[in-house]
Amino acid sequence: MGPEATLDLFSKIVKGTKVKKDQDHLRILVDNHPQIPDRTLAIRGKGSSPLPKLVQSARLLERAGADFIVIPCITVHHFFVPLQRKIKIPILHILNETSAYIQTQLKEVDTIGILATTGTVEAGLFRKAFASTDVELIFPAPEAQKKYVMEAIYGRRGIKAIGPSENSKRLILKASKQLTMRGAQALVAGCTEIPLVLNDGDLPIPIIDPLSILASAAIKKAGGKTE
């Protein structure tokens, strides 16, 4: 997936685990496999399916001794069901974990803005994850989605090209402010590259980071203690 997001998840697991010494940390196997085809292009019918290489990576980790898998990419969860069927160990679902977190920790929030890739939006991944809740989801207008969100992630000076930058942060903040003006009471950084430039405190409403939620879920699943 995106190497920056992979690094971010690894760091959040390490920093989020309560330890007293090195040996208290969890054993983590990482397959940094950026050659997996672009998920948004695949969903939009403009690129190869990532599923074969996803299966390859998952089976590699399974053979290496992993007890479960976490994936630092939200868009790829469009392929979650067929991938899970191909392996024997469970995969934690980042969107289900995020939905559960919001329902338990942000009960007063009923309107949430979603910043995600166009692939995630068109696949309806967040709508599926929140289908059984009363939470209203709002997304950027098509022009803002293309001009701000996708440019910040995929543009020539986007996060996937050059890493986090002030330019990407500026674009994401523009999209974020439009969502707050439309009534968002909280924002979900719904692409794992977005938390690299958007942090809680950047806006007057909460920023929800699914990658941090996934890291906490992984720590608990592995029997570790969270900070």
Reported as a single tens digit per residue, the pLDDT across 119-136 is 999 999 999 999 999 999
Residue type, 17: T
102: its two tokens: 């919001």
CA R_g for the chain: 17
- Same domain assignment for residues 88 and 107: no
- Same domain assignment for residues 38 and 137: no
How many domains does the chain contain in total?
2
Phi-psi region of 136 (alpha: psi -120 to 50; beta: other; left: phi over 0): beta
User: Is 227 a member of any domain?
Assistant: no
User: Is 189 a member of any domain?
Assistant: yes
- Same domain assignment for residues 106 and 84: no
- Same domain assignment for residues 82 and 163: no
Q: How far apart are CA 86 and CA 60, in angstroms?
A: 12
Q: How far apart are CA 100 and CA 144, in angstroms?
A: 28
- Same domain assignment for residues 149 and 167: yes
Residue-level pLDDT at 7: 93
202: its two tokens: 């950047």
- Same domain assignment for residues 183 and 101: yes
- Same domain assignment for residues 17 and 115: no
User: Is 41 a member of any domain?
Assistant: yes
Residue-level pLDDT at 200: 87
Give the domain extent around 36.
Answer: 3-93+213-221
- Same domain assignment for residues 62 and 122: no
Is residue 192 scored above 90 in pLDDT? no
- Same domain assignment for residues 102 and 130: yes
Residue-level pLDDT at 81: 97
Reported as a single tens digit per residue, the pLDDT across 153-162 is 999 999 989 9
Residue-level pLDDT at 1: 74
Residues designated as active site? 73, 191
179: pLDDT confidence band, cut at 50, 70 and 90?
very high
Q: Give the three-class secondary structure for 226.
A: strand
Are 112 and 138 a contacting pair, CB within 8 Å? yes
- Same domain assignment for residues 100 and 204: yes
Reported as a single tens digit per residue, the pLDDT across 110-121 is 999 999 999 999
Residue with tokens 């309107």: 111
CATH number at residue 72: 3.40.50.1860
- Same domain assignment for residues 98 and 204: yes
- Same domain assignment for residues 82 and 100: no
User: Is 226 a member of any domain?
Assistant: no
